[in-house]
Amino acid sequence: MTSLWEYANPRKFMATTGWLLPLISMLAAVCVTVGLIWGFFFTPDDFRQGSTVKIVFIHVPAAMMAINAWVMMLIASLIWLIRRHHVSALAAKAAAPVGVVMTLIALFTGAIWGQPMWGTWWAWDPRLTSFLILFLFYLGYVAMWAAIDDPDTGADLTAVLCLVGSVFAVLSRYAAIFWNQGLHQGASLSVAPGERMDMTYKLPLYVSMLGFGLLFLALVLAGTRTEIRARRMKALIARERMV
Amino acid sequence: MIALLARDLTLAIRAGGGFGLGLAFFLILAVLVPLGVGPEGEILARIAPGILWVGALLACLLSLDRIFALDFEDGSLDLLATAPIPLEGVVSIKALAHWLTTGLPLTLAAPVLGVLFSLPATGYLWLVVSLTLGTPALSVIGTFGAALTVGLKRGGLLLSLLVLPMYIPTLVFGAEVVARGAAGLSVTTPLVLLAGITFGAAALLPFASAMVIRINLR
């Protein structure tokens, strides 16, 4: 009987991801390429938004993955704290920079999209604000990892930070919603394109979302493998010094 | 525990720099903002709740790294960790001492600064109430941040990066209470949320802080 926890063994993890990673990377490349090309060149212009609507094919998947990356870090941190599987802590570490980049992509494409649509690069809309806050949380998490030398202490501290940070990130999101509606009486800018969408847009968007998800998975796996190799190297160097 | 509180308070007052520094920073900030924004009373009154709250937050941040750093350096943190009282209690006492030396003076000084910002008369009560309710949350959250960074050589900058995002909900609800109070609107919702954050943080975060200190002392 095989269980998921077997992959907590770095050797088993390395062996499995060794052949899985190229596969996932290929799939991710195919999905992203197909999704984006389909989205950019083979969908009609929107009757109201014109061709600018097409940035949705990057913006929405990136935003989705920015949140999912944090959720994944949260789960991985919990696993590390409870069962102390090193691969889990390293996966959380590897996911953070990807989350940073996804958040940045979402913010930038949002600004580029917002300029022609709303006439402004930035608005203190609850969604935008909570993404900026999420970005700050990511920065703190990455900086925390970078600041600590001892790997186990680092994993422990960042895991606790991730747990506490998640609670505050959620709180901040609701605070942002409360704050804006309370002060400015309801933001009229809605960033929810998924709802009234036609199938011609939805299908490439789904492909692109799947592609971003796979891309995230591939990057995290690659990052985790790098971390494991770096640790092995450190152990080897330490052993050589002892002899 | 009372002895620990007394010790921390005495240290904060006698060791110099810690006690009055936050308050002085708060005052300086309150002087700088009108100089930067311009002396028009209406604008100042409008931004007063936000500025006073941001000022309190930054002043609080200044003294955070002192909560554990000195004890960590001279080894008394190890003693406290092995003392008969639980580490969670120690952390709570530390947070309380931090609040008594920064949050409380800020709360008392804020109405005076409200005058400088020509805050509407109805706002003073809510300014004091919101700061009394909200600054303990700042101390408790800050204690967690200080506990996280206690082992690091240059934790100060990292500390602010970690702690400031966590201050956002407190800031939003705190400033909202003052803004609504000054405008004569109902303050119940933000006030309840602010109290919720403070009590929730005070109840749960000491466990996280104690855990983090144990990791750092390992």
- Per-residue model confidence as pLDDT tens digits over A6-45: 777 888 888 888 889 999 999 999 999 998 888 888 877 7
Residue B213: closest C-alpha in chain A? A157
Q: What distance, in Å, lies between the first and last C-alpha atoms of chain A?
A: 41
Higher pLDDT, A190 or B88: B88
Of B122, B127, B99, B100, residue with least CA distance to B111 = B127
Specify the pLDDT at position A182: 44
Please check the confidence at residue B65 and state whether its pLDDT lies above 50: yes
Given an 8 Å threshold on Cβ–Cβ distance, is A136 in contact with B165? yes
Specify the pLDDT at position A183: 42
Non-local (6+) Cβ contacts of A14 within 8 A are A225, A228
Given an 8 Å threshold on Cβ–Cβ distance, is B162 in contact with A140? yes
How does pLDDT run across A192-206, given as a tens digit for each residue?
A: 544 456 677 788 888
Specify the pLDDT at position A190: 45
Specify the pLDDT at position B208: 93
Given an 8 Å threshold on Cβ–Cβ distance, is B172 in contact with A175? yes
Given an 8 Å threshold on Cβ–Cβ distance, is A137 in contact with B152? no
Polymer length in residues for chain B: 218
CA A186 remoteness from chain centre: 29
Specify the pLDDT at position A196: 56
Considering CB atoms only, which of A133, A161, A175 is closest to B162?
A161
Q: Can you spell out the DSSP letters for B118-173?
A: T--TTHHHHHHHHHHHHHHHHHHHHHHHHHHTTT-TTHHHHHHHHHHHHHHHHHHH
Specify the pLDDT at position B76: 82
Q: What is the mean pLDDT of residues A154-168?
A: 92
Question: Scanning the structure block, which residue is given the tokens 């500390």?
Answer: B159
**What one-letter code names the amino acid at B61?**
L
Please check the confidence at residue A181 and state whether its pLDDT lies above 70: no
Q: What is the mean pLDDT of residues B40-49?
A: 84
Tell me if A63 sits within 8 A of A213, measured CB to CB.
no
Distance in Å, alpha carbon of A132 to nearest chain B alpha carbon:
10
Distance in Å, alpha carbon of B132 to nearest chain A alpha carbon:
19
How does pLDDT run across B138-165, given as a tens digit for each residue?
A: 999 999 999 998 878 777 788 999 999 9
B160 contact residues in A (CB cutoff 8 A) = none
Specify the pLDDT at position A185: 39
Segments making up each domain of chain A, as ranges = 20-242
Q: What is the mean pLDDT of residues B170-196?
A: 88
Tell me if A210 sits within 8 A of A34, measured CB to CB.
no
Q: Over chain B, what is the mean pLDDT?
A: 86
Residue A170: closest C-alpha in chain B? B169
Q: Which two tokens stand for residue B212?
A: 């983090």
Please check the confidence at residue A70 and state whether its pLDDT lies above 80: yes
Residue A187 near chain B (CB below 8 Å) = no
Residue A168: closest C-alpha in chain B? B166
Whole-angstrom Cα distance, residue B116 to residue B45?
9
Please check the confidence at residue A60 and state whether its pLDDT lies above 60: yes
Residue A15 near chain B (CB below 8 Å) = no
From chain B residues 135-164, the ones with a CB under 8 A of any chain A CB are: 141, 144, 148-149, 151-152, 155, 158, 161-162, 164
Q: How confident is the model at residue B25 (pLDDT cuts 50, 70, 90)?
A: confident
Q: How confident is the model at residue A217 (pLDDT cuts 50, 70, 90)?
A: very high
Residue B100 near chain A (CB below 8 Å) = no
Given an 8 Å threshold on Cβ–Cβ distance, is A171 in contact with B144? no
| Cα-based distances in Å from A77 to A5, A93, A139, B207 | 15, 9, 17, 17
Q: Which two tokens stand for residue A121?
A: 């690069």
Whole-angstrom Cα distance, residue A116 to residue A52?
8
Q: What is the mean pLDDT of residues A127-140?
A: 90
Fold of A20-242: Four Helix Bundle (Hemerythrin (Met), subunit A) (1.20.120)
Q: What is the mean pLDDT of residues A82-86?
A: 88
Of B143, B57, B58, residue with least CA distance to B98 = B143
Considering CB atoms only, which of A161, A165, A171 is closest to B169?
A171
